[in-house]
Amino acid sequence: MAKTAMRQRYHFMGPCGWINDPNGLIYYKGKYHFFYQFNPYSGFWSQMHWGHAVSDDLLHWEHLPVALAPSEIYDDHPQGGCFSGSAIEKDGDLYLVYTGTANNGNGFEQTQNVAVSVDGVHFSKCEGNPVIEPPEGVPHDFFRDPKVWEHEGLYYLVCGAQRDGRAQALLYRSKDLLHWEFFNVLFESRGEWGFMWECPDFFPLGDKWVFLCSPMGIGERTTVYFVGDFDYGTGSFTYTVTGEADWGFDFYAPQTFQDGNGRRIMVGWANGWDWMPFWKDWGPTWREGWCGSFAVPREVRMNDNLTLSIMPVDEISTLRSEMAVLPPTIRLGEESTTLRVGDGVAYELGFSIDLMQTDATSIHLNLRQHDDRALVVDFDLAHARMSVNRDKADEWSKGTSRSPLSVQGKEKLDVILLSDQSSMEIFVDGGRVVHSMNVFADNEHNGISMYAKNGDAVLVDVKGYGLDAV
């Protein structure tokens, strides 16, 4: 499996089969724990298990036994099983809170359940499951993905739900993780934010709170965030700023956690669902017996204007191998300039667009290029926007992701590219804009070229590195 053509070199993947949402991300007893939605038997989604892996550095992973498998009347739906959830430590033990999906004659019946482990490896489902059932008025097939945290001796849980066709985030609280009471509707859509929020996350950052989710029913948006204020007295959240955690097509259901260094780390599934408007399929990797990876772990920080910056964790730099021989400053014109970084497949390339010396209306990058195929990145400086077009990137993918760019009053615009065997992640403006896209191209697709239109463009601080496999 490790030597198949499309396997990622440094991104997290399951040992085989299908993976999707990251679950139960936690720094527990000195190690990073990743749980994840897992079908170990096929490269397609089916009855969900929880895979499990541990790491010392967020890059090198040891796969452990499956943590949760469908086994009980509340989580044994043949096209459901143990859906997404979160993890928390209590009295030294590791608790998993997850959605069980069953079929007792009413279709998809979703409830919240708890499993516990004393060693962080082997988990037992609690006898009192389900611990939370859908409240009246909430459809039993739109009640999932609990995220749990502790505050001043009480445990809180936010769960995605729907009422009257509109998305809601329901808030519960508990003294022991086993007996829960409904507290309030934390936050809800009036229709403008879709009909369901999958994998909601809710966490403090500085003196503000962030609500993060993957909305269903609002077009191409895969992951959005809201920044505002939360009142523990009433259980209500009011937002003032909203933004996109990732504008690309392959970043979904992210979950965050705080590590031992106090960083807020975000991890997302690097793929999407068949109901999305840009979806074609999940790519050719099912032929190799697997499907799915995670985007690189990212650190989340708050900006002064309450937007978020989301950048790769510093540990990525430890994968750097040879430094590319590149001029520190590159002047681009309408003739194409080619670069060589690593093997052109797994690499890091960084530069800043010097906006004071640039009079071109746009800058174009061709990545993973071979013959007439390439992933095309367009920085449209004249209209302050960016796009990533993968219509000709490979024989599978399609669609163009788009985002605004903030260039007014700035002297430079920094860009970081992280390329791997089957993905490209682009971080712009200090992580205020991110595009993550899968690219299913073979090793011959290793070219990098760039050019400017209607003038010259100046790139400064140009650096590149090959990135080692893990």
CA angle 95/99/102 to nearest 5° reads: 130
What whole-number distance in Å separates Cα of residue 367 and Cα of residue 439? 10
Domain 316-467: give its CATH architecture. Sandwich (2.60)
The mean pLDDT of 74-93, rounded to a whole number, is 96
The mean pLDDT of 356-363, rounded to a whole number, is 98
pLDDT in tens, 258-267: 999 999 999 9
pLDDT in tens, 56-66: 999 999 999 99
Domains 17-312 and 316-467 share a fold: no
Confidence class for position 116, pLDDT limits 50, 70, 90: very high
Confidence class for position 107, pLDDT limits 50, 70, 90: confident
- Residue with the bigger pLDDT between 79 and 249: it is 249
Distances (CA, A) of 440 to 2, 63, 217, 287, 370: 16, 25, 27, 13, 13
User: Which residue ranges make up each domain of the chain?
Assistant: 17-312, 316-467
**Confidence at residue 254, expressed as pLDDT on a 0 to 100 scale:** 98
What are residue 283's phi and psi, to 5 degrees? 95, 180
Ordered DSSP codes for 182-208: EEEEEEE-SSTT-SEEEEEEEEEETTE
| DSSP tag of 430 | T
Distances (CA, A) of 203 to 207, 266, 300: 11, 11, 11
What are residue 41's phi and psi, to 5 degrees? -100, -10
User: Full-prediction pTM beyond 0.85?
Assistant: yes
Confidence class for position 207, pLDDT limits 50, 70, 90: very high
By percentage, how much of the chain surpasses pLDDT 90?
95
**Confidence at residue 285, expressed as pLDDT on a 0 to 100 scale:** 94
pLDDT in tens, 400-410: 999 999 999 99
**Confidence at residue 172, expressed as pLDDT on a 0 to 100 scale:** 98
Whether residue 104 is predicted with pLDDT greater than 90 in this model: the reply is no
Q: Is the dihedral of CA 193, 195, 199, 203 positive or negative?
A: positive
The mean pLDDT of 279-290, rounded to a whole number, is 90
Whether residue 307 is predicted with pLDDT greater than 80 in this model: the reply is yes
**Confidence at residue 376, expressed as pLDDT on a 0 to 100 scale:** 98
Whether residue 3 is predicted with pLDDT greater than 80 in this model: the reply is no
The mean pLDDT of 199-224, rounded to a whole number, is 96
pLDDT in tens, 14-49: 999 999 999 999 999 999 999 999 999 999 999 999
Distances (CA, A) of 178 to 100, 113, 156, 461: 15, 9, 11, 54
Whether residue 106 is predicted with pLDDT greater than 90 in this model: the reply is no
Ordered DSSP codes for 53-108: EEESSSSSEEE---SB---STTS--TT-EEEEEEEEEETTEEEEEEEEEE-SSSSS
**Confidence at residue 1, expressed as pLDDT on a 0 to 100 scale:** 66
Strands 290-291 and 17-28 turn out to be parallel
The mean pLDDT of 107-114, rounded to a whole number, is 95
Whether residue 2 is predicted with pLDDT greater than 90 in this model: the reply is no
* Mean of all residue pLDDT scores within the chain: 97
Ordered DSSP codes for 121-181: S--EE-TT--SB-PPTTS-TTSEEEEEEEEETTEEEEEEEEEETTEEEEEEEEESSSSSEE
Residue 106 burial (CB < 10 Å; 0-12/13-18/19+)? exposed
Active site residues: 21
The mean pLDDT of 285-296, rounded to a whole number, is 96
Give the domain 17-312 fold: Tachylectin-2; Chain A (2.115.10)
Query: Under a CB-based contact definition with an 8 Å cutoff, are residues 320 and 466 in contact?
Result: yes
**Confidence at residue 395, expressed as pLDDT on a 0 to 100 scale:** 86
- Cis link prior to 130 (omega < 30° from 0)? yes
